[in-house]
Structure 1
Amino acid sequence: MASAMIALATISYAQAPHTIQVHVDGLSKDTVYLAHYYGNKLYYADTTVTDAEGHLTFPGRPYAECGKHAIVIPGPKYFEFMAVTEDIVIETKASDPSKFVNVIESEENKVFYEFLGFIGERRAIASPYEQTLDDSTATETQIQEARQVLTDLGEEVGAEQKRILSVHGDKLFAKYLNMVLEPTIPEVPQNIANAQELQYRWYLDHYWDRVDFDDPRLVHDGSFHQILDSYWTRVLPQVPDTLLNSADRLIAKALGNDEMFKYIAHYITFNSESSKVMCMDKIFVHMVDTYYASGQATWMNEEQLKKVMDRADELRDSQCGSIIPNIILPGLDQETWMSLYDVDAKYIAVLIWESTCGHCKKELPKYKELYKKWQPKGLEIFAIGNDFDPEPWQEFVEEQEYTDWINVSDNPLINAQDSASALIYSGVTTLKSLNFRTTFDVFATPKVLLLDKNKKIIGKQIGAEQLGDILGRLEKM
C-alpha cells in the first residue's frame, strides 16, 4: 500500500545547515529514503544507508522545500514528520515505524505528534460508538448515547485544533491544520429572502482566507490539494466561464510564490483537459495561452512545453465559445461543394460520423428523430462523413434515408497532395476543411458540435438526448 503512494522521482535539493537525524531500531546497513509530499502524493527526494545500529542522517530542507515528509524504510514502511528549518532528531522501531515515533528534538514535530496522539486517543474512544450507530439491533437509548459521545468528541477535537492555532500559530503544522478547517459562515437575519445565496457568496469570498499565499511550503501537504480539489470540483459551479474567471483570480493570489503558482496552474490545466464536463477544453486552452505560452511555466522543459502547447492548438478550433472554422466539402454526390458558413439556421449541429462505427449506427436514428422535431424550430444538421472511402458512406446514407439534412465528406482524390493544393489555392476549399479530423480533434465518432446562428460553438461531445435538452433550455431563455 505504501509503495502505491510513493511516486519514484529523483529531485536534487540544495544543502541546508540543519540536519534530520533518525534512529530506526531494527535496521542495520539498510537503504532508507527521504520522501516529500507534493500535494497528496509522495515523491522520493533523497536516499542514504543506515549504520549498523540503524542511525541515519539527511541534510535539512531549504525553506521553500520544507513541508510534510516521510522516512521510508524497507517493507516499504514509513512514518511522516514535518521537515522545517530546525534540527530534527527522531527515533522509532522498524517493526512499526509510524506507531513508535519518539520526537527527541524538534518543537514542530512535538506539536505534530502530540496532536496525532490526541486524535488517536479520541478515535479509540469513538470506535465502539461508531459501531453502535452501524448496529441495526442497537436500542434508541444506545443510539442517542453514541451520538452524544461522538458530538462531544468532535467538540474536543475542535477545541484542540483552536488551541494549537492560538498557541502554536507560528508552526507550519498549524498552517496545515488551519487549511482543513472550514470557514464558519455567519448567520443571516431571518427577514432576508435569499439567505442561502448570501451565505454561499460569503463562503466563496472567504474560502481562501485560511491559506497563506506567501508560504511556498503549503503545497507540500495533502491538505492544500484537498481544499483546491474541493473548491474546483464541488464549491464552484461547473460552468466553464465561471471556472475560467475563478482560475485567473485564484492564480493571481499565488503570483510571487513559485511553488504555489506551479501547483495551482498545473492542477487547473490538466484537470480541465481531462474533465468530462462539457466545454472544459476552453479552460485548458486559456491556461496554456495565458500561463504556459507566455513563459511562466518555468518548471517545464522545451519538449514538455511544446507538447502542451500543441495539444492546445489541436483543441483550439473546436473549443466552446469560438467561431467554428468554415468547412467546405463535397456533398453526397461528391461533386457539389457545400459550405458550413452558407447554412442559415438558428442552431446547427455539426455531426461527424462514419458508416462502420457501431455507436454511430445506434445514435443516428436518435438524431433523425431529433431533426424531425427541431428542424421546424430552426435546427440544421451538417453531417460530415468520416469514412475515407466515400462509397460505403454514400450507400449507408441513402439506404437508411439520412438525406434530409446536409451530408458532406472528403475522398482520397481531393486529399491527394496535388489535388488538395490546387483546390485550396483556387479557393474551392480550405486546409482546415480537408483536415477536418485534425481541425476538430476527431479521435472517436460520433462527435457533435452545437453552433448558434453566428456559428459560435455553444456545446460539444453531446448525445442526441442531451442535445434535445440543451435546445429546449435555449428556447426558454
Structure 2
Amino acid sequence: MDYQKEWIKLQAKAASLNERYQKNRNNSDSVKILSDTRIKHEEEMKQFLRNVSESNKGSMLGMLVKSILPPEIPKFDIPAGTKNPDSVRYFMIYQHNKNHYFDNIDFTDERILRTPILHSKLNTFFTNVVIQVADSINKEIDRVISLASSNYKVFQYVCVYLFNHFRESEIMGHDAVVVKLADEIYLSGKADWTTQEWRDNLKKEVDRIRPNLIGVKAHDLVMNTFNNVYVSLYDIKKDFTILIFWEPDCGHCKEAVPRLRDYYEKYRDKGVEVFAVCTQPERDKWEKFIQENRLTWINGWDPARLTRYDYYYNITSTPIIYILDRDKKIIAKKLPVESVESFINDYRKFNR
C-alpha cells in the first residue's frame, strides 16, 4: 500500500535523525540544528497521518491511523514574572496531554479490538502518564470507563485490562484500585461476563484487602508478649510503628528479622517501635529465635489467631512489613526490610 511505503520512509528518516542527534549530543550547534529538524519532521509525520485518516474516514485504515495520532499540544503562554515558568509550562503540557490522551480513540468502534492499539494506549497511559497514586489513577479510570461505556465489547475489554493490570501490579497502594474496580464493576452487576463463583471469590479477596489499604487506620492488636504482658498496638506512642509478621522457620524471615533488628537498635530512641507478630504456634521455636537474635522490641504471641491479624492484615506469607504513623494510620505495606530506613527518612522529610 502507498500509505505503508510512505510511512516506512518517514519512520526511517526519523530513526536516522534520532541517531544523528544522539551522536552529536556534545556539540551544541549540531544539537540545536538537529532538534529543530526533528521537530519539523515529527510535524510532517503527524500531518501525513492526519491526511490519511481524513481521506479514509469511516474505513478500518482511517480509524487505525487516527488512533495512533498523539494529542495536539498547544503553545502555552506563561505570563511574564511567573515563578519557575519552565515548570509551569511543563505542568500545563502534562495536564493537556493527560486530559486529551484518548481524543483520537473511537471507543464506540469495536474494530479497534482486533488491533493492539487500544491495549498499547491503555498500558502507556496507566503506566507512564498517570501519576502512580491510587487517587489519581481512580479518577482517570472513571473517565476512561465512561468513554468505553457506549460499546459493550469495548467496555468489557477496558474493564478486564484495568482489573488485570492493577491486580498484577507490585506498586504499593495499587490494591486500592483493585478494590474500586471490584466494588464498582465486578461486584456491582456490571461485569456479566463473569461467573457467580468467580465473583464470590473476588469478594473474599477484596474483603481481606479493604482493612489494610494505605491511609486506613490499622486494626488494633491486643496480644500477649514474650514478657508475658498483654500489649495493645494502639498503646504505642511513637512517630512510627513497624508491624512485622514473621515465623522462625521462614528462610526470608531469618534474613529480614536480624536486618530489622539492626535498624531498630539504631532508631529505637528516635520515634520508632517494632511490634513483631509470630505467625506459627510453636512457642519453643519462637522463644529460641527471639533469644538467639536478641529481639528486644515488642514480640507479640497469638498462636490461636484470636486477634484475626491474618484477616485484618491479609497475611498469606512471611515476612510482611507494615509501617504505621503516630495515629496508627497505614502509610506503607509489604515493604522490603531494606527499604524501611529510606522510607521513614523520606516520610519524615516530606511530612514535617
TM-score range, shorter-chain basis?
Answer: 0.7 to 0.9
Match of 1:374 in 2: 267
Residue pair 1:449, 1:457 contacting (<8 A) in 2 also: yes
Alignment of 1:59-458 (within 5 A): 113-119=1-7, 157-189=45-77, 191=80, 193=85, 194-333=88-227, 335-403=228-296, 405-411=297-303, 414=304, 430=306, 433=307, 435-458=308-331
Per-residue displacement from partner, 1:338-365 (whole Å, max 9, x unpaired)? 3223333322111111122222222223
- Once residues 129 and 289 of structure 1 are traced to their aligned partners in structure 2, the CA distance between those partners, rounded to angstroms, is 49
TM-score by length of 1: 0.63
Residue pair 1:292, 1:309 contacting (<8 A) in 2 also: no
Kindly state the Cα deviation for residue 114 of structure 1 after the two structures are TM-superposed: 4.6
Residue pair 2:14, 2:41 contacting (<8 A) in 1 also: no
SS in 1 for 2:342: helix
Letter aligned with residue 56 of structure 2 = H
TM-score by length of 2: 0.83
Q: Does 1:469 align with 2:342?
A: yes
Kindly state the Cα deviation for residue 448 of structure 1 after the two structures are TM-superposed: 0.5
Kindly state the Cα deviation for residue 437 of structure 1 after the two structures are TM-superposed: 2.9
SS in 2 for 1:210: coil
CA RMSD in angstroms comes to 3.1
Residue pair 1:282, 1:321 contacting (<8 A) in 2 also: no
> Which structure shows the higher helix fraction?
2
Kindly state the Cα deviation for residue 122 of structure 1 after the two structures are TM-superposed: 6.0
Letter aligned with residue 169 of structure 2 = S
Further displaced range: 336-345 or 191-200 = 336-345
Residue pair 1:292, 1:305 contacting (<8 A) in 2 also: yes
Cα pair distance change 1:268/1:129, threshold 3 Å = closer
Q: Which runs of 5+ in 2 are unaligned?
A: none
- Once residues 47 and 197 of structure 2 are traced to their aligned partners in structure 1, the CA distance between those partners, rounded to angstroms, is 51
Cα pair distance change 1:369/1:128, threshold 3 Å = closer
Match of 1:72 in 2: none
Q: Which runs of 5+ in 1 are unaligned?
A: 1-112, 416-429
> Which structure shows the higher strand fraction?
1
Residue pair 2:223, 2:302 contacting (<8 A) in 1 also: yes
Which of 1 and 2 has higher RCO (CA within 8 Å, sep 6+)? 2
- Once residues 384 and 354 of structure 1 are traced to their aligned partners in structure 2, the CA distance between those partners, rounded to angstroms, is 8
Per-residue displacement from partner, 1:298-351 (whole Å, max 9, x unpaired)? 111212222322221232222222222222332115x54332233333221111
Match of 1:98 in 2: none
- Once residues 188 and 156 of structure 1 are traced to their aligned partners in structure 2, the CA distance between those partners, rounded to angstroms, is 21
Letter aligned with residue 468 of structure 1 = E
Cα pair distance change 1:129/1:212, threshold 3 Å = closer
Of all paired residues, the percent bearing the same amino acid is 24
- Once residues 276 and 284 of structure 2 are traced to their aligned partners in structure 1, the CA distance between those partners, rounded to angstroms, is 16
Residue pair 1:254, 1:260 contacting (<8 A) in 2 also: yes
Kindly state the Cα deviation for residue 121 of structure 1 after the two structures are TM-superposed: 6.3
